[in-house]
Structure 1
């Protein structure tokens, strides 16, 4: 019997203030629905991050939490080792920002070195981005899918040449330049909460497929498709 697919939720008490831990539950459930054994590991500051995970998750948090998380993850080192081994990292909002080269905190916009996993930099924008966001994601296979969520961030992100935007914005702010999120190797960053993987099952399955190295059978859930269509109509109607 193969080992369970390990989903690692990193520093929930620091980076989990917008319900982003729900992303971990979604990944575990979507594996279990397919008969694939999954194990959820929740790692808090002061505990060693396992290097054996398949998917690692970072969520949203405040300035001080971002700085603490960066310091602890650099000192621990196992997240970097896991990514070198082929694991996937999915980072939301503050988690996305700290994966970049630099981000700023506080009223003085102090520049902080990030984890350097994404070629992005984040600076405070002209206004805070708050509200529903709808983006168009160009999937690796050439198809397109909509991503829906709720954004709440003051940072605007510039994507450098070594990374690529995750999606283009239809409604909302995202990175602040018409793009949203970033992708580089097996690291994916994005701003929407929701939790975003509960709202966007295609994105959840994409993370799992990258981690597993193979495709997954579809999970037909018509009621979820109906809810997503209603969300799209609602967001577009508020423009």
Structure 2
């Protein structure tokens, strides 16, 4: 009997206000459309995070929710164990920020310690980043793919030497207006776009699954998605 791939959706009541839950649906469905078993595990504060997840998902949220999420995840500890065991973490916006060394919240820009999973720090930016974002992602095989999404963040993220950018920005702000977006370090990927971003960008969704499974997946041919992607790209570039 095949063991299902476990997709763990973490703390939606804290980090789920921008529709990022849709990322979990995309991963599950892309597995099942290939005839592969998938299990979605939804974890809320007070629940134990599974230590045997294949893909862990963090989404967007408000400042105080970020602080609460970090405290709960540190107290639980299983996210760290899951990553040590080979799991993959995909974190969006506020979820991305809390994966770093530190982030600031509130009008006083109070500094809070993050989870330390990415060599990044986040502080308040000069202007809020709001709107469509278009970036170019270089895949591990050297090919490139466009990533579309919607960014909405006041924090600006700067990368340290241990983290590498996920993508370069064509339109939008990204990490801090310096031309990069997201961060990758080992089996942890952080990014700002909502959308949900994996629904808009199936190549990125499959990349996460391939990292978790340790093998390549057969392509899914879905022409309607490619038509929508082309329309989004054209709309962003036309602004």
Shared topology, TM-score over 0.5? Answer: yes
Q: Deviations along 1:20-54, whole A, 9 cap, x unmatched?
A: 00000000000000000000000000100011110
2:141 paired residue number: 141
Give the match's secondary structure for 2:129.
strand
Instruction: Output the CA distance in 1 between the equivalents of 2:141 and 2:155.
Output: 30
Does residue 49 (structure 1) correspond to residue 56 (structure 2)? The answer is no
Give the match's secondary structure for 2:28.
helix
2:95 paired residue number: 95
What pairs up with 1:9-20 in 2 under 5 angstroms?
9-20=9-20
Shift in Å, 1:135: 0.2
2:212 paired residue number: 211
Instruction: Output the CA distance in 2 between the equivalents of 1:71 and 1:93.
Output: 18
1:104 paired residue number: 104
Give the match's secondary structure for 1:74.
helix
Shift in Å, 1:2: 1.6
Shift in Å, 1:98: 0.1
Question: Where does structure 2 lack aligned partners over 5 or more consecutive residues?
Answer: none
1:116 paired residue number: 116
Does residue 182 (structure 1) correspond to residue 183 (structure 2)? The answer is yes
1:79 paired residue number: 79
Shift in Å, 1:171: 0.3
Instruction: Output the CA distance in 1 between the equivalents of 2:44 and 2:94.
Output: 16
TM-score (norm 2): 0.99
Give the match's secondary structure for 2:164.
coil
Does residue 226 (structure 1) correspond to residue 227 (structure 2)? The answer is yes
Give the match's secondary structure for 2:190.
strand
Instruction: Output the CA distance in 1 between the equivalents of 2:113 and 2:143.
Output: 35
Give the match's secondary structure for 1:189.
strand
Q: Deviations along 1:153-211, whole A, 9 cap, x unmatched?
A: 00000010001000000000010111000000000000000000000000000000000
Give the match's secondary structure for 1:80.
helix
Q: Deviations along 1:88-123, whole A, 9 cap, x unmatched?
A: 000000000000000000111111000000000000
Instruction: Output the CA distance in 1 between the equivalents of 2:179 and 2:65.
Output: 28
Alignment RMSD, CA only?
0.4
Shift in Å, 1:222: 0.8
Question: Where does structure 1 lack aligned partners over 5 or more consecutive residues?
Answer: none
Count of equivalent residues: 238
Q: Deviations along 1:54-76, whole A, 9 cap, x unmatched?
A: 00000000000000000000000
Instruction: Output the CA distance in 2 between the equivalents of 1:56 and 1:193.
Output: 16
